[in-house]
Structure 1
Amino acid sequence: MRPLPLDDLVLPGGWSVRPATLADLDDLHRVATRHDVAACGFSTTSRASVEAHVAGEGAAARTHAVVTDPTGRVVGWASVHDRAAGRVIVGLSVDPEVGERQADGVGAALYTWAEREGCRLARERGLSRTQLDAGAFAGDARKHRWLAAAGYDHVRTWWQMARTVVPAEGEPGAFPDPQQGVVVRQVVGDDGEPSQGDLRAVHDVLETAFTDHFNYHEESFDEFVERQQQEVGHAWDHWWLVEVEDAEPVGALIGERSAGGAGPDGTYVAYLGVTQAARGRGVATALLRAVIADAASRGRDRVSLEVDADSPTGADRLYAAMGFERRYATESWHRDVPCEA
């Protein structure tokens, strides 16, 4: 099924909306960066991630809409990502130089488009409903207003945390050995590739670990692996498993390289999960020590991650105890919509 038409969206006079093209990449990065800086003081959007989502391997699961002003300048960008069955991620950025009244019109039009696209994706999966999952910085009052007007509810807050890494932490013996019986290992073999068994183990651990977490949506193994490979910072040697006393794996961590711009790169912890039966055994601590040591050995200066401010496992306390500090907060806003044919 092809993306839906855009010409009936209501915009300020002389403004227009169209699909994104390769020629828009620099403008989309500019809009997203300016939006980020206005909302939280710095940008979290890289040029590489924009290209990956619009034109790279991650483009297949995403569609995009671009708004231009009467001069033809790109001033707004929205995307929808078919994240899992019944869940669509909605992204939206509007240049902060756009006046409030016009920006409100752009935001309303783009959230209308996102709802339509989300339902199109749901119908392609044979679903009659879907969740629209939109994000916002905690201080972004303008986007909060648009989300509320579009029928979204603020459902969760997330702490974005980071820890400084120093070179000495990459040396042998920098951290205590894991608790007795806890074995941490990377999934890559001597040829630099993971085995199918290890990839399935990571998937199984994370699916099991997150069933009691907020907004869990089941994801098939094939979808999971394909989505991970589409990430800009993906590398198999950033994946770890933990086994306890020769049993099946009970913990997993997926890291990614995060670009540092003019400075050193960092490592981002995209997933860290421990099965319920193994919690309290030092598994998460062992995984964090492994990723910190790895980052230090690569010459990186930080490890960052996201944690649910209302985590049922108290993960934020563990991160704080290991030197992670809150840098800023983001929010999830949800809307469940019917998607009849």
Structure 2
Amino acid sequence: MSYALRPATLADAPAVTALLNAIDVLEIGRPETDLHTIEAEFKHPETDLARDSWLALDGETLVAYGLLWDESEGERIDIDHYVLPEHQAAGVLLLDVMEARALEKARANGAARAVVHLHLNVKPTLDLALLRDRGWDTVRRYHVLRRALDPAADRAPEIPAGVRLRPCADEADRERVHALYQATFADHFDFQPRAYAQWLQDIDGAGLDWSLVWIAETDAAGDAGFLMARDDREAMGWIRSIGVTREARGQGLAGLLLRHAFAVFAARGRDTVGLGVDTSNSTGAPRLYARHGMSVHYAVDTWEAVLSRP
């Protein structure tokens, strides 16, 4: 079977969303990809659709999709790769062109090699033997967690003395959240430092409801933690990230922020909330989420390939 490859355009976002939702159903049992998420990726100022996106078509039918991006400006390159299970040959075509482009990008950054990462469901539609045969291997596992919400039970938590929560109300608060994010995630696996303007693009700041971003402040430490949530995903309310500075950990701030987010989502009529977590997180986040009633929805592995072909 022969496939046609071409770059994606913004007009392809609905077809890509439909493909990813078809793959969601196969991998996790339900569609969880939103059109606005794909459109935000396509519109990101650092996304070069003409050179760093690929559609594989069987006639007029989209059967595989890939996107490459470079946040490190060094050797680290990220790719997304999706393929319908009956079209593995199209998946191989995408891997061929994406690996070549990743190495080209890394070398343009001045690196001698490309260290490429790809996130895949632990039981993906891509045949994992194809990756292993090319030298890819797993380096990390993440869990997507979820929790049912009950407006009667998930009420606003009591704020301890000496602690304050405030919504992200202005540009100064946004800059503060960025600083807290950079500080609290700096030691996390695969963290890539990003300047304020770049970070705003990464989180789709223009489309973010900033009233769902909160800063935790204490008398002793000042601004010491944050939580970023989104309510624009059809499947569930979503906690994008939560962080507490090293000096303020162990004081219950993360749990307080989490319970506050649960209460806000429940009051908005949401019945489920979710988030993603590194299972090897050194701050104890998986245990925190388990204590607050969150359980595994599905698991994702980070696959890595080190490319240095002549």
TM-score, scaled relative to structure 1: 0.81
Deviation at 1:81, TM superposition (A): 2.3
Give the distance between the partners of 1:211 and 1:296, measured in 2 at CA. 31
List runs of 5+ in structure 2 lacking aligned partners. none
Quick one: which of 38, 41, 58 aligns to 2:29?
A: 41
CA offset digits 1:158-211 (Å, max 9, x no partner): 1111111222357xxx344233322111111xxxxx22x222221221211122
Residue 183 (structure 1) aligned to one of 159, 164, 172: 164
Answer whether contact 1:157 1:330 (CA < 8 A) is retained: yes
What is the aligned-residue RMSD (CA, Å)? Answer: 2.5
Greater mean alpha carbon deviation, residues 240-249 or residues 319-328: 240-249
Is 1:74 the equivalent of 2:74?
no
What whole-Å deviation, never above 9, does each CA across 1:241-274 have from its counterpart, x for those lacking one?
A: 111116331111111124226xxxx321111111
Which whole-Å deviations, capped at 9, do the CAs of 1:68-116 have from their partners, x for residues lacking one?
12x3322111111233434332111112343xxxx1x222221122223
**Equivalent residues, number:** 307
Take 1:50 and 1:43, find their aligned partners in 2: how far apart are those partners?
Answer: 14
1:95-143 deviations in whole A, cap 9, x for unaligned? 2343xxxx1x222221122223323443554544443210111122744
Residues 199 and 47 of structure 1, relative CA distance in 2, 3 Å threshold: closer
Q: 1:206 to 1:143 in 2, by over 3 A?
A: farther
Residue aligning to 1:122 = 106
Question: Cα gap change, 1:58/1:27 in structure 2, threshold over 3 Å: closer, same or farther?
Answer: same
Gaps of 5+ in 1: 1-11, 189-193
**Among 267, 280, 284, which residue is 2:250 paired with?**
280
Helix, strand or coil: the match of 2:203? Answer: helix
TM-score by length of 2: 0.88
Change in CA separation of 1:313 and 1:149 when aligned onto 2, cut-off 3 Å: same
- Give the whole-Å Cα distance in 2 for the aligned partners of 1:113 and 1:228: 27
Name the structure 2 match of 1:27: 15
Residue 59 of structure 1, CA deviation: 7.2
Amino acid at match of 1:203: H
Question: Which residue is equivalent to 2:203?
Answer: 228
Cα 1:126–1:93 change in 2 (3 A) is same
Change (3 A) 1:36 1:241: same
Of 60, 83, 86 in structure 1, the residue corresponding to residue 47 of structure 2 is 60
- Cα distance in structure 1, aligned partners of 2:197 and 2:278: 26
Please show how residues 306-317 of structure 1 align to structure 2 within 5 Å: 306-317=276-287
Identity of aligned residues (%): 28
Alpha carbons of structure 1 residues 293 and 61: separation in structure 2 relative to 1, 3 Å: farther
